[in-house]
Amino acid sequence: MANEFSQLGLIPQLKQAVSELGYIIPTPIQLQIIPLMLAGHDVIGQAQTGTGKTAAFILPILQTIEPGQRGIKALVLAPTRELALQVAQAASELGKGLNVRVLAVYGGQPYGHQISRLRQGVDIVIGTPGRLKDLINKRELDLGHVKTVVLDEADEMLSMGFIEDIEEILSTIPAEHQTALFSATIPPRIGGVAKKFMNSPKSISIKSEHLTVDAIDHRYCLVNKRDEKLAVLTRIFEIEDIASALIFVKTRVGTSDLVNELMAHGFSAEALNGDLNQQTREQVLNRFRRNQTAILVATDVAARGLDIDDISHVFNYDLPDDPELYVHRVGRTGRAGKKGIAISLLTGQEKWHLQQIERFTKQEITRIPIPKTEDIEKHREDKLLEQMIVRLKSGDCQKELQIVTRLEEKGYDTVQIAATALKIARGQDTNRPIAPISEVVEGRKQKPKTENKYGKKENGRGGSEFSHEAGMVRMTLNAGKSQGIVPADVVGTIARCAEFPGSAIGAIRIMEKHTLVDIPQKYLAQTLAKAGKIRIRKNAVTLSLQK
């Protein structure tokens, strides 16, 4: 069997394009789909994003197109603007030696440019169903010469409500054409579309045990209760080597709330949800791609069609209701030959749901422990040590050496100088509290013991109402979750009104009707002096010392 692109029957221009892009060995889906499509068969490919399916259908399309002929020869339907653009880019790169004209059409952009390009002549159109249908209705998109149709991520288009539009578009295409359908899963409605519009298709499917990609390490972390998922998440962030992370939550409100919480804990995060217009969405995604934002918090709907190769971690903050959604979510990591990590956070009551996912994917999901305070502190020290060694090896510290020399002249010991410098360098870590957690108790009920940011234990009910941190006092704010309070509100408001650094604020615990917050004893007087003037979102709130 062929094991290189050069042996798949591709024309020289495509072999060269593939070689220049650095591809040598076809992926399994490419190895099977390309010969079938070149032979003219209709195909169904069960493959998730990241398996190389785009090249699997674009290469045969490019090979069969004769540039300059009248009419559109190939049509690709994609669920989102992002995926349409990515497919169009792949077609342009692979077909650069063939003078093939490629156009992506999608909503959120004026019609003028797209119509102008169509009138000039296009060979391949890649578009979202809604915009394609609009252009057909405007009589600007003529599909009367189409020879190949591709439905990319068909199940995503089904879940987004595009299935009727797809059927309407397919009904305008001549009967004599080739159809390729790609989908991570094949629900009955997609099967119905295949039966209605495809001619004896050849089915290529990834075995169920590989649905979630071998390159992904599947883990889960059991938390004592839902309210502590944030604390566990921030602890995992402390010890995991996270290049970029995609976190899934169920609701749009949940994305904003979690972003605010993460930012209050010192992590760079942005929300991706249905409230964003197209321009803002693009700006958010571009910052994420450029690593200006490390964490993206998204809903399933907002993340559809998202195709970014360098996501190191996917987190299921909320488990998906449908096991198929788990496949889509975690498929965003472990891409382009890299290892990926998928971590799900769940309570004991949600374990049955995880077992459903394991049965569906035939993939074992391994439990990991909640990182302990001492583990996080050691990891912080190791990171600082690593940075120090790099600096020492580079020798790029001439200005700093001058300062050391001046301190030595004043009689200070070199070791003591180094220790002081390290303490200053660690300022960000020491001012970032380690979120408190409760011990996970399975199989029996008992009062949980809470671990504060210094690793000390305190009783879950009465004890947690009082500060146990040296030099801190606990205060009460008469507003909580029911008023929409988030940690960023507490930190920003108190620090601004009382005029001390927000990083000095300690543990924050937001209850339903009130909020507990620890502040340093040395700032107590100035905080109490301003306690009657505090407003959050234009609403007056009361801050008082806990009795």
Rounded average pLDDT over 475-491: 83
Task: Name which of 141-145, 275-279, 396-400, 471-475 the model is least confident about.
Answer: 396-400
pLDDT of 400 reads: 80
Spatial distance between the Cα atoms of 340 and 353, rounded to a whole number of angstroms: 22
- Which among 169, 174, 133, 134 is positioned nearest to 151, based on CA atoms? 169
pLDDT of 50 reads: 60
Q: Which tens digit of pLDDT belongs to each residue from 94-122?
A: 998 898 999 999 987 889 999 999 999 99
pLDDT of 470 reads: 63
Q: How many CB atoms lie within 10 A of CB 90?
A: 18
| pLDDT bracket for residue 449 (50, 70, 90) | very low
Query: Which position has the higher pLDDT, 302 or 114?
Result: 114
Q: Where in the chain is the domain with CATH 3.40.50.300?
A: 27-206, 216-371
φ, ψ at 104 (rounded to 5°): -100, 130
Q: Which tens digit of pLDDT belongs to each residue from 312-322?
A: 999 999 998 77
Amino acid identity of residue 371, one-letter, is P
Rounded average pLDDT over 379-391: 77
Rounded average pLDDT over 196-201: 93
pLDDT of 382 reads: 79
Amino acid identity of residue 363, one-letter, is Q
Q: Which tens digit of pLDDT belongs to each residue from 332-355?
A: 887 766 788 999 999 888 888 888
| pLDDT bracket for residue 456 (50, 70, 90) | very low
- Which among 515, 545, 543, 541 is positioned nearest to 531, based on CA atoms? 543
Question: Residue 123: CA atoms inside 13 Å, Cβ hemisphere, count?
Answer: 19
The answer to whether 546 and 476 are in contact (CB under 8 A) is yes
| pLDDT bracket for residue 441 (50, 70, 90) | low
Spatial distance between the Cα atoms of 422 and 392, rounded to a whole number of angstroms: 14
Burial class (CB in 10 A: 0-12, 13-18, 19+), 136: middle
Task: Evaluate if residue 460 carries a pLDDT over 70.
Answer: no
The answer to whether 248 and 316 are in contact (CB under 8 A) is yes
Task: Evaluate if residue 390 carries a pLDDT over 80.
Answer: no
| Bridging pattern class, strands 515-520 and 508-510 | antiparallel
Rounded average pLDDT over 78-100: 89
pLDDT of 42 reads: 96
| pLDDT bracket for residue 462 (50, 70, 90) | very low
| pLDDT bracket for residue 481 (50, 70, 90) | confident
Average per-residue pLDDT for the chain: 82
CATH number attached to the domain at 27-206: 3.40.50.300
pLDDT of 214 reads: 59
- Which among 380, 375, 254 is positioned nearest to 317, based on CA atoms? 254
For 425-468, the DSSP string reads HTHHHHTSPPPPEE----SS--PPEEE-TTS-EEETTTGGGS--
| pLDDT bracket for residue 430 (50, 70, 90) | low
CATH number attached to the domain at 446-545: 3.30.70.330
Helix axes 414-425, 373-394, angle to 10 degrees: 120
Task: Evaluate if residue 443 carries a pLDDT over 70.
Answer: no
CATH number attached to the domain at 216-371: 3.40.50.300
Measured at the CA of 222, the angle between CA 221 and CA 227, to 5 degrees, comes to 110
Q: For residue 511, what are the contacts with CB-CB under 8 A and spacing of at least 6?
A: 480, 481
Q: For residue 99, what are the contacts with CB-CB under 8 A and spacing of at least 6?
A: 67, 68
Task: Evaluate if residue 499 carries a pLDDT over 60.
Answer: yes
Per-residue b or e along 403-412, where b marks 16 or more CB atoms closer than 10 Å to that residue's CB:
eeeebeeeee
pLDDT of 2 reads: 46
The answer to whether 435 and 453 are in contact (CB under 8 A) is yes
Spatial distance between the Cα atoms of 258 and 291, rounded to a whole number of angstroms: 19
Q: Where in the chain is the domain with CATH 3.30.70.330?
A: 446-545
Task: Name which of 183-192, 249-258, 421-430, 522-531 the model is least confident about.
Answer: 421-430
pLDDT of 140 reads: 96
Q: Which tens digit of pLDDT belongs to each residue from 17-73?
A: 888 876 767 878 888 999 999 999 999 998 766 667 889 999 999 999 987 788 999
Radius of gyration of the chain (CA): 28
Entry pTM: 0.49
